């Protein structure tokens, strides 16, 4: 009987401590949970914010980047920024906006060399293999070349000219005697440096860089391109085709060939 009071007392004390600890721990966990949810939402990278060359895929990048800015200080062109709170990019992570200042594609890639964590992957040795994004000529209504003019600026500034971006020579049906030279981006070579977007002469660029997964579609796996298959096999896979006569037109001489645009022309 006599011992029951101190036991009760210590149990009460123990329970009080327990509930206090539980309160603190619960509060901390709840806060972290909220933070986790917030971080998820705040990690969405806007389409116009591009990561530096060699950046790991976004999820891995957010786990790897130390938010230190060594890449920013390493860039001799001062075109990378560290996201400050309020910018819609994960706080403290590096990004650039092509229209403001594009990447100059330094041969020695100093930004990657400066990164201590590997968020910028040092296996990138050739800046031509960087894939910061992919250029897309999004506004075909306003691109001057699509209108039939010869602007070509995006094409001319491209550091990977004639590979990443070409001018495709098409007949202009509007005048019927001119060409349309359509700037066309090739994902195989475009580094996403952003020089074309930066240089586009329109008040709002008609060509823009987007993250590759936004800019690029994909074919179903089973699709094959006949011309590629043909080239690979040195001939048609299904043998010679029978030429069927066009019914009712037998005996009509073939129409004279239309004069075509000079397709060997180079700007």
Binding site for other proteins (CB under 8 A): 20-21, 24-25, 27-29, 31-33, 35-36, 38-40, 42-43, 59-60, 62-70, 72-74, 81-82, 84-87, 90-92, 114-118, 122
Q: Which does 109 bind (CB under 5 to 8 A by kind): ligand SF4, other proteins, none?
A: ligand SF4
Among 158, 180, 200, 205, binds ligand SF4 (CB under 6 A): 158
Residue 38 near which of other proteins, ligand SF4, none (CB within 5-8 Å, type-dependent): other proteins
* Distance between CA atoms of residues 119 and 17, nearest Å: 44
What distance in Å separates the CA atoms of residue 235 and residue 152, rounded to the nearest whole number? 36
> What is the token pair recorded at 200?
């586009």
Return d(Cα 170, Cα 165) in angstroms, integer.
15
Binding mask 168-207 for ligand SF4 (x = CB under 6 A): -----------------x----xxxxxxx-----------
Whichever of 119 and 206 has its CB closer to ligand SF4, that residue is: 119
Among 58, 104, 121, 139, binds ligand SF4 (CB under 6 A): 104
Q: Would you say 235 or 267 has its CB closer to ligand SF4?
A: 267
Is residue 110 part of the contact set for ligand SF4 (CB under 6 A)? Answer: yes
Closest CB 208 distance from ligand SF4, rounded Å: 9
The distance of closest approach from Cβ of residue 149 to ligand SF4 in the complex, given in angstroms and rounded to an integer, is: 19
Residues 118-157: x/- map of binding to ligand SF4 (CB under 6 A)? -xx------x-------x----------------------
Residue 102 CB, shortest distance to ligand SF4, in Å, is 7
∠ Cα 218 224 227 (to 5°): 115
- Output the 3-class SS for the chain: CCCHHHHHHHHHHHHHHHHHHHHHHHHHHHHHHHHHHHHHHHCCCCCCCECCCCECCHHHHHHHCCCCCHHHHHCCCCCCEECCECECCCCCCEEECCCCCCCCCCCCCHHHHHCCCCCECCCCCCHHHCCCCEEEECCCCCCCCCCCCCCCHHHHHCCCECCCEEEEEEEECCCCCEEEEEEEECCCCCCCCCHHHHHCCCCCCCEEEECHHHHCCCCCCCCCCHHHHHHHHCCCCCCCCCCCCCCCCCCCCCCCCCCCCCCCCCC
From other proteins, ligand SF4, none, which one binds at residue 203 (CB under 5 to 8 Å depending on kind)?
A: none
Residue from the set 111, 136, 181, 206 that interacts with ligand SF4 by CB under 6 A: 111
Q: Considering the complex, what minimum distance in angstroms separates the CB of residue 81 from ligand SF4?
A: 11
What is the CA 234 to chain-centroid distance, rounded?
35
Distance, CA of 43 to CA of 91 (rounded, Å)? 9
Q: How far is the CB of 135 from ligand SF4 (least distance, A)?
A: 4
Which residues in this chain contact ligand SF4 in the complex, by CB under 6 A?
52-53, 65-71, 75, 77, 79-80, 94, 103-106, 109-111, 114-115, 117, 119-120, 127, 135, 158-160, 164-165, 185, 190-196, 209
């Amino acid at each position: 009987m006599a011992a029951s009071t101190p036991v009760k007392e210590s149990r009460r004390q123990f329970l009080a401590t327990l509930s206090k600890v539980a309160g603190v721990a619960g509060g901390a966990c709840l806060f972290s949970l909220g933070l986790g949810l917030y971080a998820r939402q705040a990690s969405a990278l806007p389409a116009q914010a591009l990561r530096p060359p060699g950046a790991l895929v976004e999820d891995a990048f957010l786990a790897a980047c130390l938010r230190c800015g060594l890449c920013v200080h390493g860039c001799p062109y001062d075109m990378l920024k560290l996201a400050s709170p309020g910018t819609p990019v994960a706080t403290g992570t590096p990004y650039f906006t092509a229209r403001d200042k594009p990447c100059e594609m330094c041969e020695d890639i100093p930004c990657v060399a400066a990164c201590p964590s590997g968020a910028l992957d040092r296996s990138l040795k050739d800046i031509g293999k960087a894939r910061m994004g992919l250029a897309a000529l999004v506004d075909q209504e306003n691109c001057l070349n699509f209108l039939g003019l010869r602007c070509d600026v995006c094409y001319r500034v491209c550091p990977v000219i004639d590979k990443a971006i070409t001018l495709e020579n098409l007949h202009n049906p509007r005048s019927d005697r001119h060409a349309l030279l359509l700037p066309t981006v090739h994902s195989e070579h475009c580094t996403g440096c952003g020089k074309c977007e930066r240089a586009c002469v329109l008040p709002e660029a008609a060509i823009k860089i987007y993250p590759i997964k936004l800019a690029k579609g994909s074919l179903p796996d089973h699709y094959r391109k006949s011309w590629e298959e043909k080239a690979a096999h040195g001939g048609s896979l299904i043998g010679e085709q029978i030429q069927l006569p066009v019914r009712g037109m037998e005996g009509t001489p073939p129409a004279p060939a239309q004069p075509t645009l000079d397709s060997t022309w180079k700007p």
